[in-house]
Amino acid sequence: MKSRFLAGPYIAWMAIFTVVPLGMVVYFAFTDNSGAFTFANLTYAWEYWPVLLRSVWYAVAACLICLVVGYPVAYVIAQSTASVQRVLYLLVTLPMCMSFLLRTLAWVALLRDTGLINSFLGLFGIGPAPLIRNSGSVIMGMVYNYLPYMIMPLYTVIAKLDPRLIEAAQDLGCGSFQTFRRVVLPLSVPGIVSGITMVFVPAVSTFYISQKLGGTEDIMIGDIIERQFKGNLNQNLGAAMSLILMVLVFISIGLMNRFTDDEEVATI
């Protein structure tokens, strides 16, 4: 078929640059320097479980904050008139047009002890407030960077909600809160699930944000992996950590999708 033919280039691309490297990650994870089979990398990688746990915890926190902050934004955008929708949507996606590194560095300039905010507070003799080098600043950095990924799928789902369903809820006696809780929220579950997935996956493996905005205690699994490839040059350990992270992400996605295994909702 023609469509299959057109998908050919990407399938080849995937095979070469996704499947093959994945196989290589698995291979390195289970071998030592000499290429002999071993479980040592995985065992050693497990010793970093507190870091892994912290990464998950930061990612979950960032996800929940993104959801709480993003949902009302997505809802407001979806309820606006078409022209306002375009402007607001552009505003949400605009930060993504700027370099991720630049955005994170900008936060450093804002938050550090000699930064803009603390300098301003200093005028009133306050501070310097501990705005940076703690878990809060890392999570905030993640929320700031990944919020658009939450808002976009939520907006898409809410905008597609049939307005007659909302009228039907009102007709059957729902005030605005009940309408939201019983109709709008349950029907936006697919958007919530894909939003959480799209924020959680990059957040749990993030590395740069924690280096710039976090303290020494805020190191994340992504930073450790980076270090294995760039500093310690222990590729096998890095591969093992990546593999563990990947399995973790797969399990999380699997769990999330259980919420939408109801096909009615999933096909919206």
Looking at beta carbons only, is 248 or 265 nearer to another protein?
Answer: 265
Tell which one of 47, 217, 261, 264 touches another protein (CB under 8 A).
264
Q: Please, what is the minimum distance in Å from the beta carbon of residue 84 to another protein?
A: 17
167 near another protein, judged by CB under 8 A: yes
Q: CB neighbours of 242 closer than 8 A, spacing ≥ 6?
A: 25, 29, 225
170 near another protein, judged by CB under 8 A: yes
168 near another protein, judged by CB under 8 A: yes
Phi, psi angle pair for 80, to nearest 5°: -80, 170
Q: Scanning residues 134 to 163, which ones bind another protein (CB under 8 A)?
A: 162
For residues 57 and 204, is the Cβ–Cβ distance under 8 A?
no
Task: Let me know the angle formed at the C-alpha of 55 by 49 and 60, rounded to the nearest 5 degrees.
Answer: 125
For residue 202, count other CB atoms closer than 10 A to its CB: 16
Stretch that binds another protein, among 73-81, 83-91, 108-116, 179-187 (CB under 8 A): 179-187
The Cα–Cα gap between 157 and 150 comes to 12
The Cα–Cα gap between 158 and 186 comes to 11
Stretch that binds another protein, among 27-35, 112-120, 184-192, 234-242 (CB under 8 A): 184-192
Looking at beta carbons only, is 130 or 186 nearer to another protein?
Answer: 186
Task: Tell me the number of residues near another protein by CB under 8 A.
Answer: 24
Please state at what angle helix 189-204 crosses helix 135-160, rounded to 10 degrees: 150
Q: Please, what is the minimum distance in Å from the beta carbon of residue 46 to another protein?
A: 41
Interface ranges with another protein (CB under 8 A) = 162, 164-165, 167-175, 178, 182-183, 186-187, 189, 262-265, 267-268
